[in-house]
Amino acid sequence: MDDNFLNKITILVVEDSNTDRKMLVTILKKYFSTVLEASDGEEGYEVYKNNKNIDIIISDLNMPKVSGINFLKLVRSSDMNIPFIVTTGRIEPESMLEAINFNVNSYITKPVDISTLLQKIDYLCENKYLEERLENKRKEVEYLIEAVDIAALIFRMNGKGEISYMNTAMLDVSGYNKEDVANLNFNNIIHPEIPKKYIDKTWEELNNGKLWKGNTKFITKDGETFYLNNTIFKTNNNDYITIAFLTTKENLEKRDFQRKVIMKFQESNKKEFELKQKNSALEKKVDTLRDLYEEDEMTIKSLKEKNASNVRQLEHYERQGDNLTQKYEKFMNSKKEEIESYIKTLNIEKQKNDKLSLKYDELLELVEHFKERNKSLEEDVRNKNRRINDLNEMLVNKSDSKSKKGFF
């Protein structure tokens, strides 16, 4: 199935639960362009009556006013074939049998599995798509048969030459009517001037299963001569079908014109098919762009929401920042005061230290002076000690000398 076909599908959703109905409608609109909705069987039937192009109905069974079963009966009173899918939260055998008797297509329990529902819808759409294609092919074959019936002369006969059918063109050219056909034989229409041996040879080839082609001279009901370019073949029912074209100049021109008409018809069909394919491709591109647009919209919406959240957070941080700035300024002012006080204290201490440093220098000079004096005193003491020692020695020597003199 192509997207162009799916876009033509119309679905009716009948569900009394607003949540379930909105959910189903939202999902189905992603795949089908037209999705109708109703909140109960009564409203659903009104929508159905006012929209004869509905292709598929999805209905809940248990609804107020008009139940799903009664809604199904109302629909089936006018259409026995429209696809009908039933959903229900409770499996009731009697309701199920009643729904089956009224030609329900599918029975889905709640909560509805979306994948299962889409598979059921896909199957129904595929059947409708095949029916539509078959109907188009049938019409096309009818058009071709009509065109062939106008352009070609066709008749059927059995092995005895008894004619059972002549198409419109053959009747017109031969001058016979439909009532005459039942009593006609091939010998009545073949021109008497055709040699019998040629006719016998043709029958022999046909009985051997061969396809016979050639030009033949025929005679009308009124005895007028006409020429046909024939193609004859034998069917499985042992009948012989002749498809022929007039070979006079006038009819050749007519046949050529009809052939051109058929070719134009075929070209028109081909162009229509190509245009449908191109249209389908363009619709796919549009759907892709629509999806991208929706995704971008969702992304932009998400980004906007994130941006708004970020702005709120930033404002919060700014407020916190302002509070922190105030606290920081207070803290810095306090620390500044402490530093200034500390600097003042340091200056005072420095001044004290400078004074102490001067006193220290003076003391150092005094110490050095005392050291020098001490050295001088020590030297004096040493000298005095030496003198004392010398005097002691002298005294000792004198004492020893006296003692020696007294002893002798």
Q: For 286-316, what is each residue's pLDDT tens digit?
A: 666 676 667 667 766 776 777 777 777 777 7
pLDDT recorded at residue 27: 92
Residue corresponding to tokens 């004492």: 399
CA pseudo-torsion sign 285, 290, 293, 299? negative
Q: Is the pTM above the cut of 0.85?
A: no
Can you give the three-state secondary structure of the chain, one letter per residue?
CCHHHHHCCEEEEECCCHHHHHHHHHHHCCCCCEEEEECCHHHHHHHHHHCCCCCEEEEECCCCCCCHHHHHHHHHCCCCCCCEEEEECCCCHHHHHHHHHCCCCEEEECCCCHHHHHHHHHHHHHHHHHHHHHHHHHHHHHHHHHHHHHHCEEEEECCCCEEEEECHHHHHHHCCCHHHHCCCEHHHHECCCCCHHHHHHHHHHHHCCCCEEEEEEEECCCCCEEEEEEEEEECCCCCEEEEEEECCHHHHHHHHHHHHHHHHHHHHHHHHHHHHHHHHHHHHHHHHHHHHHHHHHHHHHHHHHHHHHHHHHHHHHHHHHHHHHHHHHHHHHHHHHHHHHHHHHHHHHHHHHHHHHHHHHHHHHHHHHHHHHHHHHHHHHHHHHHHHHHHHHHHHHHHHHHHHHHHC
- What's the chain's Rg over C-alpha atoms? 62
| Domain residue ranges of the chain, discontinuous segments joined by + | 3-134, 152-247
- pLDDT tens by residue, 158-198: 999 999 999 988 999 999 999 999 899 999 999 999 999 99
Alpha-carbon span 166 to 291, nearest angstrom = 59
pLDDT average, residue stretch 335-350? 81
- The yes-or-no verdict on residue 80 having pLDDT over 80 is yes
pLDDT recorded at residue 20: 92
For domain 152-247, the CATH class is alpha beta
Is-contact 240 232, C-beta < 8 A? yes
Quick one: fold of 3-134?
Rossmann fold (3.40.50)
- pLDDT tens by residue, 199-209: 999 999 998 88
> Which is more confident, 406 or 345?
345
pLDDT recorded at residue 329: 76
Q: How confident is the model at residue 49 (pLDDT cuts 50, 70, 90)?
A: very high
pLDDT average, residue stretch 241-267? 68
Residue corresponding to tokens 């074939």: 81
Q: How confident is the model at residue 258 (pLDDT cuts 50, 70, 90)?
A: low
**Lowest pLDDT segment from 95-104, 118-127, 210-219:** 95-104
Average pLDDT, the chain: 83
How much of the chain exceeds pLDDT 70, in percent? 86
- The yes-or-no verdict on residue 337 having pLDDT over 80 is yes
Is-contact 82 54, C-beta < 8 A? yes
CA 320 to chain centre: 45
pLDDT recorded at residue 23: 93
How much of the chain exceeds pLDDT 90, in percent? 31
pLDDT average, residue stretch 8-13? 91
pLDDT recorded at residue 250: 55
Amino acid at 213: K
- The yes-or-no verdict on residue 255 having pLDDT over 60 is no
> Which is more confident, 62 or 4?
62
pLDDT recorded at residue 86: 92
Can you give the three-state secondary structure of 356-369, one letter per residue?
HHHHHHHHHHHHHH
Q: How confident is the model at residue 248 (pLDDT cuts 50, 70, 90)?
A: low
Is-contact 168 162, C-beta < 8 A? no
- The yes-or-no verdict on residue 21 having pLDDT over 90 is yes
- pLDDT tens by residue, 139-165: 877 776 676 777 789 999 999 999 999
Is-contact 126 118, C-beta < 8 A? no
> Which is more confident, 255 or 112?
112
